[in-house]
Structure 1
Amino acid sequence: MPERDDGGVRGALLVADIADEQDVFALRRYAKAAAEAAGMGRLDPVRLATALSELGRDLLGPTPLTAVFDVPEKDPDTLRVELIWRDDREPTPESHRAVTRLLGDANPRLVRAGDGRGGRVLLDCPLPPGDGVALRRRRIRDALAAAAGAAAGLAEGLRAQTRDLMAALEESNAQREELERLNRELEDTNKGVMALYTELSQELEETNRGVVALYAELEEKSRLLREAGESKMRFWSTISHELRTPINAVIGLSRLVLSPDSDPLTKEQHRQVSLVATAGTTLLVLVDELLDMAKAEAGRLQPHITRVDLAATCAQLRGVLVGTGDPGDVALVLPERTTPRYVDTDEVMLIRILRNLLSNALKFTVRGEVRLDVAVLSGQGVQITVTDTGIGIPADELDRVFEEFHQVPGPLQRVRPGTGLGLAYARRLTEALGGTLTLHSTLGEGTRACLSLPFALEDDDGLVRPLAGIVVVDDDPVFHEVFKPLMHAVAERVVELTRGADVVDVVRRERPTGVVLDLQMPDTDGYAVLAELAADDELRDIPVVVLTASDPAEQNLGRLRHARGVLSKHGVSARRIVEILGAGSREGGLT
């Protein structure tokens, strides 16, 4: 077999002609030597040699083939083998499939020159990374040269091929035995996996049955809880209605007895009836708080957000809390001006929270002071702090005081009893407003309650301005004393009346911006006053807001159709009165 070191392909490692069967055996020898020198796997040299001998034998013809071995400079990790011919022959599909099966990674490609001028088969065999293209080329070139120098006849070539095939057969047998062993192990493993899968499936099925049963039980309990909550709401709605009726009767009859037009009472009788009226008002507030607690638990307590004047709120609280605690021993300190002055929140809820905190502080303070302070909270909210110099709360009770109906045992608890709802109610309202309420206390030194609310405002954009003047009509002197700060926050000038019979004359003379009217009065009640104002052509346009100690929904709204609004005295706010009266106010007012 002729050999050319630079042959038909310039720079190739080996170029050799394949003219007969003996040259095919030489081609096989070259392929095996090159593959071994290139560092291919243990069986890869035999596969390459077998593939090339099959192709060479299939392509033998009248003119020699040319075999070219090379490692391209630009692709040093590839052993390239080409078989080139000059006529119209081409490999059969059978040999092409055999080569593909033996050398799948080599990607054999058949290239035709066209017009019967020949073609070539190109095999690119991937090599493991080497020590550099020059060293690799030299190693393969030396191996090819040694293979070309080894004389071998046809018989010797057949024997070499047989040895290769025997070695490949032994390797194949070893692999088959290993594969059979692995298959047996895999079969055993599969049996174990299937047994485990069956066991886990059974356990999972049992677990699923338990989960389904638990889910059904939880769903049933959830339904029962929802029904219990709804029943609780219905109970509180019903009981609050039923309680309000006798309580309002007690309050109304007490005021009637205390009215100046009633038969005179002795000093002791007046004191006792006043206590009845005060107790009735306290009981009504408690009923409202219990109803709010039930609403909060059911998620139905929705705040009505408005802009609240904190200074006016403090003034209103000062009037409401007059007489609470021990006069002379405890000073109630509330700011006349606050920074910030306004916050966006529910005014009624805020007043109820602060009233509970302040009254609780006054209740458990024997001497010293109860102080309310307002401060900006990191520019994102407002913090209202109520500090007292009272008896304090033990450290282990600080969390429990927010539980409903829980009371800290102590000497003052016996003489100043309560329901244990104040702090729980205050925290529920605080959470409804999106804020937090915390307590800090030192036993024997005092307590500090910190109320933090979001959205503090320091401007007065959008505020409803105080009215020029109003006429306030109520026969209860306690009302005038308690609500005086609130009414002065409503209007710049306030005219107070205690008799319904005087209203029309005073309104005609003063021409106020609005009228705040009580319903229950002994001489001429609120219904009659409202009817007289509505019948007067000059006075019918002056807006009237009705205040009542009873539930507004229980009033005769048909007789109140000329009023701009009907509000409960429990939770009334300055802003709400200004909004109602200001919506219908006209220019002018008191002079």
Structure 2
Amino acid sequence: MTGAANAPGGDPCRVLSLAVAGERELLALRRDIQVACRALGMSESETVRLATVVGEVGRNLLGAGGLSGSVALTDDDRPGVAVVFGWSDAVRPAAWVLEAAGRLLHSCRYEEAPFPRVILGQLVPVTAQPLTQRAADVREELRGLGGVSMGEELRSQNHDLLAALQQARAHQEELQRLNQELEETNQGVMALYAELSSELETTNSGVVALYAELEEKTRELSLLNEAKTRFWANVSHELRSPVNGVIGLTRLLLTPGGDPLTEEQRQQVQMISSSGSTMLALVEELLDVAKAESGRLEPELVPVDLRMLFHQLRGTLRATARPGVALVIPDAGDQPAMISDEVMLTRILRNVLSNSLKFTDSGEVRLTVERFERAGRAWCAFGVSDTGIGIPKEEQARVFEEFYQVRGPHQRARSGTGLGLPYARRLVELLGGRLTLDSTADEGTRVVVEVPAGPHRAGGTGEDVPAAPAVQLERLVVVDDDPDFLATIRPVLAQLAEDVTEVGDSSQAMSVIRRRRPDAVLIDLSMPPPDGYQLLAHLADDRELTDVPVIVLTANDRSTLDNSRLIHAQAVLGKTHLTAIRLANVLSPVLAERRAGGQGPEGR
């Protein structure tokens, strides 16, 4: 019996189909598959693997009712040959047979619907010939085959087995050769490794000594930097009081109700007042730089009226422009509203404009503002361009170093500390923006300040509005003995929680928290015993309250806190610039996790 004679004409990719009633039909199917695989250009090893698996699976299924075998060409992602054994009763193929077939072939699967069958798949070489034509060629090849001889088929199987054994022996000999080469290579590597280990050990000794010295130098530099920051802060504090006194006295002298001054005396007092104001601005900048370096300078985001800000800059800086230099600041009647730190933004623009005015002898210093969108958020770009002396390209990076000033004759009669641009860039970074500079010597300089103009855009209204808190609480308890702070924070907490309980006596805090069972607790650190540290420890030890998130509030310097006693706090926040959004952002992750587990307000 031959498969070609039984190939149906309805499926052009079907190669053969025959009933497998016994061993003879199975041998015929195995032989026809070998002939088909060779005709399709498959390698001898792949042909032997497929024929062997077909023989084993068919032999395992012999005796199943209605057992038949078919061969067809498939073209899913790549051309292949599929051998399908199908039958009609409840016989199941052995698991070990399917496992072996899965290891040897490209695919093997057993299906129970629409009828029990095993589908064996093997890839065939890709050619330009259509799959239907290749199937027709294979059927033509099979049509000329005669009946199968048991002896001939046995000899064919033995031949295949001998070829496989020879190939395995060749692979084994090649593996032995490679292992020998690898062993010889390893001996050389081990010798080299021993030599390098000795050299590396010697080098490591020097590196360890150098690292110890470097660590010591780093520690010294860190101490020096901390000392410098403390010095700036202390000096700034000490200078601010007398300078304020000088400014206050000059204002008293200049008031209309004071003793009359001669014109010369009035001019001298005005010069004293102007110099005092300049000194106070420098002192404030030094203090802010010290705060920024210690991480204690935080922006306070409020609505900013750019029209008033520009009016203030125009009034304070116009008198500092040299004769023949125009200060052009837009009349911002239609300037867009923005949310930022007004004090920081004013100081940034004042420093950049002052720097341009200082080094511009003719022409103009111009301020521009432009609004744009970036990543769903509104931004403002403030550009300050001048027609001054410019900055050489090699000096442009260094002008952002503290106290550095570009050397040259232009420095005569132009006093300064070298803090203006570094201070402005530091404030811009604190606001989440960036400051860039582009300059050409003898032509002028342009500085661009890009800062966020507000929170992320809400909905599709086209307007920037303050973002709503990320979570809404049912109950909140705040423990603080400072009535002024409680009065200040009360509107903020009202945005965050429906019910806010204030506890001014820390000794009553635990009983109130147990009774109220809040969603979160805010605790001040500095209180009469029990203080914030002790309350936090009591809450952590209480089984019923240990899961309640706690935010610690403090007006103290963060560097003075005992962080080892704050590990149970969700966060430690400064009391300045405290907003509902900031609190909600801290609480939202832990509350979302608790509510997902049924521990939130909905689960109580």
TM-score (norm 2): 0.47
Larger radius of gyration: 1
Question: Bigger relative contact order, structure 1 or 2, given CA contacts below 8 A and separation 6+?
Answer: 1
